[in-house]
Amino acid sequence: MTANPASPPRYSRITGTGSFLPARRVTNADLTAELAQRGVETSDQWIVERTGISARHFVDADSQVSDLAAVAARRALAAAALQPGDIDLIIVATSTPDMVFPSSACILQAKLGIAGCAAFDVQAVCSGFVYALTVADAMIRTGSASRALVIGAEVFSRLLDFNDRSTCVLFGDGAGAVVLQASDTPGILATELHADGRHAGILCVPGTVSGGQVSGDPLLKMDGPAVFKLAVGVLESAARAVLAKAGRQASDIDWLIPHQANIRIMQGTAKKLRLPLDKLVVTVDQHGNTSAASIPLALDHAVRAGRIRPGQTLLLEGVGGGFTWGAVLLDL
C-alpha cells in the first residue's frame, strides 16, 4: 500500500494593514495646560526628554475600543482586497474592552456585519498584539483558520490618573490591524512569548468590578525605573530567540518595530542588536504609548509612507504589564 505524500507546509503572511487614531490630538502644550488647572506641573521639555513623546490622541466620550478597531480593520481589509465576510478568525488585543463581556472581538464582528467565525480577545497589555499575532499564526498553520483579522486597539486615556504626571503624559488611544492569510511561502518566520507574573505590581491597574462597584484602584500604576530595567533586557533576549529559531542574523532585519513605549527603551534595544537607528520605526513621538495598538499602528504608518515594502524582514517586539514580552520575526 502506497503512503499518501506529506501535505505541503502551511504558513501565514500579512497581506494588509490598517490603523486609526481618534480626531482629538493632544500636544504636550495642550496637556501641560490641562494639568496646570489641576495643580500638576510639567512641560513639553520635561516630557520629551524623558519619553520622546510630543503628542498623543484621545477618544471622545462616546467612542469605544470596538469603534476604533472597526475602522482599522476595514482599512486592513481594503489593503488586502478582502471583504469582511472573507474573514474566518478575529482576534482583538486590548486591555480596555468595551465591557466586561462579551469580548470586543465579538462586538467588532457584529459591527463588520459578519457572524459565525471565531472571535475573541487577548489580554497581554502592551505585548498583546505580539501574543495575538502568534495565536493567529498558529491557528492558520494548523488549518483552524485561513484569513484572520488581528487587531490591537486601546482607549488608555480612560485608565489614566491625571494627577500623576509620571504616567498620564505617556499614553494615548488608537488601533492598528493586519490581515493574516494562509500561504505556501513563509511570512511569519518565528515567534517567542514569555511572561513573569512575579512582576505584576510594577505596571498594573489594580481594580475590578464587584457587586456593581469598583473594587480597588481603577487607574494605572507604574514603577517606571523597574519597567525600564526589565524591558531592555527581555526585548533583547526575545529578539535573539526569534532570530535563532529562523536561522537569521540581526543584520538581516530591515526594520525593527518595537512597542512604542519610550524612545530610550526603543533605541536601547536597537543598540543591543547593533542595528542602526535608521532601521527603527518610531511613532511614539506623535502617538504616545498606545499599548497593544502601538506595533500595528507603527507598522501601518510605515507601510503607507512607503518605508516598509514587500519582501523586507521585520522584527516586531513588545513588553508590557504582566510582566509579558515577546517577539515576531516575519518577511512581509
Would you name the residues annotated as active-site residues? Answer: 126, 259, 289
CB 92 within 8 A of CB 122: yes
CA distances from 227 to 94, 160, 203, 324, 329 (A): 20, 17, 7, 11, 24
CA angle 310, 313, 319 (to 5 degrees): 120
| CA atoms 294, 300, 306, 311: torsion sign | positive
CB 262 within 8 A of CB 320: no
CB atoms within 10 A of CB 120: 15
CA distances from 203 to 51, 222, 323 (A): 17, 4, 8
CA distances from 326 to 58, 192, 237 (A): 27, 5, 9
Spatial CB neighbours of 138, under 8 Å, sequence gap ≥ 6:
none
CA angle 285, 70, 90 (to 5 degrees): 105
Closest listed residue to residue 308, CA positions, set 286, 281, 285, 274:
281
Give the number of C-alpha atoms closer than 13 A to the C-alpha of residue 65, restricted to the C-beta side. Answer: 32
Give the total residue count for the chain: 332
